[in-house]
Amino acid sequence: MTTSPPRLDDFRQRISWRDVENSQDLKDLLKVCIREDLNPQKVRQAWEHDLTSEVCNLEGSGTAQLTCREPLILCGAQLADLVIGTFSCDQLKFQSHMEDGTKCEKGQPIGTISGSVKQILAIERTLLNFIQRLSGVATSSARFVSILEPYGVGLLDTRKTTPGHRLLEKYATSCGGSFNHRMGLFDRVLIKDNHLAAAGVDHGDSLINFLREVKKRAKEKLVEVEIDHLSQLLPAMEGGVDAVLLDNFTPSDVAQAVEMSENQIILEASGGINLQNISEYAQARPHFISSGAPVHNAKWIDIGLDWIK
């Protein structure tokens, strides 16, 4: 038995904040936030289009605090400076009290915003929306990870993300302790059942030969193949791929695949795995379990913006 499959560490990757803050997609997304909340015209700065603050004739400076109203794993606090900059709120300063990935208890402060009252009110909803949503994903991911860790099994996220928010939601899963699977259709090769069906490939030598050709053409890229029954496992291994996705296997079938593979290839279990059944799959000890549930089942976390002065 080998110590570990080749390229196992390539699956243990996490998106960093630097990957997020330098993203053009995020910059474009923040511009959409400006348009949907403030509908700005070119003659004024975006924040000046807050109708309520304008007719209330609000002036001067103030301070507000972002506060946890329930336990959470924080994600999104570092977006504050980007939101402030994109909304042209040059009279605001954000002071963070904790880092993304930190556990926060009810009542704890996340950070403080100080400066122009009008500018604070202009960015309030957008900033809260991001942090509440992303902290919900991070908190949900952490629940899955806490179940898997005792078994030495890693959690992988999926491409089942909100359109346009993938980078942020995958960053949020990483803050919760998940590893990040492929970003899209461009960075890894994942041969799914429909690829095999379209190629007229299923079992035996045809599967082996097909996978060998794919691996050759993919060069240095990670290559994973999805199988839906145990009879495909050994041909997949002989085909030379880096990983096998066990799709909709029962926990007992996953355990059998782990035994058959003798730790020579990366095994990922996926399909209908949630908080109710994940411990059964963890006991089978594949290298990874992937699930979209930490993202698409995550609830928004209750975080408030409380006026201090």
As a whole number of angstroms, the distance between CA 185 and CA 190 comes to 8
The count of C-alpha atoms lying within 13 angstroms of the C-alpha of 58, restricted to the half-sphere facing its C-beta, is: 19
Q: Is 160 a catalytic residue?
A: yes
Q: Which amino acid makes up residue 234?
A: L
**Amino acid code (one letter) for 223:** V
Contact 130, 164 (CB under 8 A): no
- Whole-number Cα distances in Å, 137 to 105, 162, 200, 299: 16, 12, 38, 7
**118 tagged catalytic:** no
100 catalytic? Reply is no
From 160, 166, 212, 215, active-site residue: 160
- Residue from 27, 35, 106, 125 carrying the catalytic annotation: 125
Selecting among 247, 253, 280, 302, the annotated active-site residue is 247
- Compute φ and ψ for 302, nearest 5 degrees: -80, 110
| Packing angle of the helix pair 24-38, 79-86 (nearest 10 deg) | 60
- Positions marked active-site: 125, 160, 192, 226, 247
